[in-house]
Amino acid sequence: MHYRAIIFDFDGTLADTLELTRSIYNKLAPAYGLRNVEAHEVPTLRDFSLKDLLLHLDISKFRVPSLLARGTSMLREQISEIAIIPGIAAMIPELRSRTETFGILTSNATDNVNLFLEAHGLLDYFTFVSSTSKLTGKAKHLRAIRKTFSLQPHEMLYVGDEIRDVKASQKAGIPCAAVTWGFNSRSSLSAADPTHIVDEPHQLLVLEGQ
């Protein structure tokens, strides 16, 4: 399938933010009466959906907006420390040349994403960067992007690393490529039934040409 538009998630999909996110969360946890997340817990947590993760960590959904806002601000202070996922930088120019629209839809802040892309020399490849302040609000934004660029559902692909990305794509009625190098494990992503499973960035080039 040739996709006219490819839209990426940011954290865990393009940027290797997993360990930094854990560190930031642990710095915020005491102020919210939450326990720290230890490194050895991460493999287990990778199997959890967002709902199950919040339940496991005893985080009220009412606290999520505040945690997200403060965490995003702290991440901006360390944006220069964030590594790009290996293989992404080499893949993006070729994939961009095959598509009409190339964007990012993230729960992170647009300023953070733009700073990251600029630092890695990739900013000019993207048509837009869009942000949603809600962790579960991506479906609405995906539908809006489709309408903005006059796309049919099958002409658009969302690339993400979490179960919630797969669910958002399904709710929006568009194909999804679930990448296995980010937060959620391959098995948990597969169980969510994405359109595609991608284990290496270069596979997106093959996928787009199918």
pLDDT of residue 134: 74
Tokens of 40: 């050895």
Half-sphere exposure of 81 (CA within 13 A, CB side): 12
The Cα–Cα gap between 125 and 118 comes to 10
Q: What share of residues in the chain are helix, strand, coil (percent, to 5)?
A: 50, 15, 35
Residue that is written with structure tokens 């993006």 in the block? 92
The CA dihedral of 93, 143, 66, 54, to the nearest 10 degrees, is -90
Q: Where in the sequence numbering do the catalytic residues fall?
A: 9
The pLDDT value recorded for residue 208 is 65
The values of phi and psi at residue 159, to 5°, are -110, 120
CA–CA dist 20, 109 (Å, integer): 16
Find the Cα–Cα–Cα–Cα dihedral 122, 89, 107, 191, rounded to 10°: 150
Phi-psi region of 169 (alpha: psi -120 to 50; beta: other; left: phi over 0): alpha
> What one-character-per-residue DSSP string does 127-142 give?
SEEEE-SSTT-HHHHH
Query: Residue 3 carries which side chain, given as an amino acid letter?
Result: Y
CB 87 within 8 A of CB 56: no
pLDDT averages per 10-residue partition of the chain, 210 residues = 92 96 95 95 95 94 90 90 95 95 95 95 97 83 96 96 97 97 97 97 81
User: What local confidence, expressed as pLDDT, does residue 1 receive?
Assistant: 58
Give the residues across from 178 on adjacent strands.
160, 197
pLDDT value for 96: 96
Contact predicate 167/13, CB 8 Å = no
User: In degrees rounded to 5, what are phi and psi of residue 115?
Assistant: -65, -40
